[in-house]
Structures are given as C-alpha cells and as structure tokens.
Amino acid sequence: MSDCLFCKIRDGEIPGDLVYEGDSVLAFNDINPQAPTHVLIIPREHIATLNDLTPKEEPLVGEMIQRAVTIAREQGYAENGYRIALNCNRDAGQSVFHIHVHLLAGRSMSWPPG
Ligand code: 5GP
Ligand code: ZN
C-alpha cells in the first residue's frame, strides 16, 4: 500500500525507531508514547484491519503477540505486567489502517480503558 504510514516505515521511506526486525514482523517505538514503553508490533504484510484477517494469518498474529511478550520480558516488565491492545475501526479509535499490536508498559493502567 503506497499511502500507508506503516508500510513506509517498513520500507524505510520514513524513519522508524526500530526495536525488532524479523522476516514477518517488525516492532518500533510509538511516536506519541502513552506509557514509558509504547511499542507497536506490525506484520510486514499490509493488512488494514483485524476484520481482514483470515485463518491463514493465525500464525502471523500469534507471532505478533509472542513478539510483544518477548519485548516486554526483555525490557523487564514480565513480573509487574504490561498491556497489549489492538484497535479495530472507528469505535476503538484505530487511526493507522495497517494492523498493529500496542505494547504498553512501565506504569499502572486503569481498567476499563477509555
Ligand atoms: P491506532 O490508534 O491506530 O491503534 O494506533 C496508531 C498508533 O500509531 C498511535 O499510537 C500513534 O501514536 C502511532 N503513530 C502515528 N504516526 C506514527 C509515526 O509516524 N511513527 C510512529 N512510530 N508511530 C506513529
Ligand atoms: Zn501498510
């Protein structure tokens, strides 16, 4: 997708503060962090929303979650905890239409989210 922000970060057309680069998945720091650690984990493949997932992406989604868990552990948050979030479409506030996992950590968080 030529006009997708996260595809441009994937392709190096705009800078991303990369945390992890794998064959199928990338992770980079959020430009507007909502916690001391706020990492976005994306698939290399352009998938606009969670609604576009099919059974063939099950391993990919599993890898995204597993990568978020690994980054949380590496950064020392396994014991205190962290939050993983995925937003879909308007009511959840999705603003970039290339699926991504948010990893938020380093502060106490309220529930339910706003
Ligand atoms: P959403 O609201 O779609 O779930 O999350 C999109 C996230 O992308 C937001 O947390 C926002 O701060 C982040 N974001 C938007 N533009 C950029 C950018 O150019 N670079 C990075 N690293 N993050 C971005
Ligand atoms: Zn994209």
* H or E segment and range at residue 27: strand 25-29
Q: Cα separation of 99 and 30, whole Å?
A: 14
What is the 71 CA–ligand 1 centroid distance (Å)? 18
Residue nearest to atom 20 of ligand 1 (CA): 31
Q: What angle do CA 46, 50, 53 make, to 5 degrees?
A: 70
What integer is the mean pLDDT of 73-97? Answer: 98
100 annotated active-site: yes
What integer is the mean pLDDT of 32-58? Answer: 98
Q: What is the percent of the chain where pLDDT is above 90? A: 97
pTM over 0.95: yes
In tens, the pLDDT along 7-17 reads 999 999 999 99
CB 6 near ligand 1, within 6 Å: no
What is the 5 CA–ligand 2 centroid distance (Å)? 6
Of the bound ligands, which one is closest to the alpha carbon of residue 94? 1
- Model confidence at 6, pLDDT cuts 50, 70, 90, reads very high
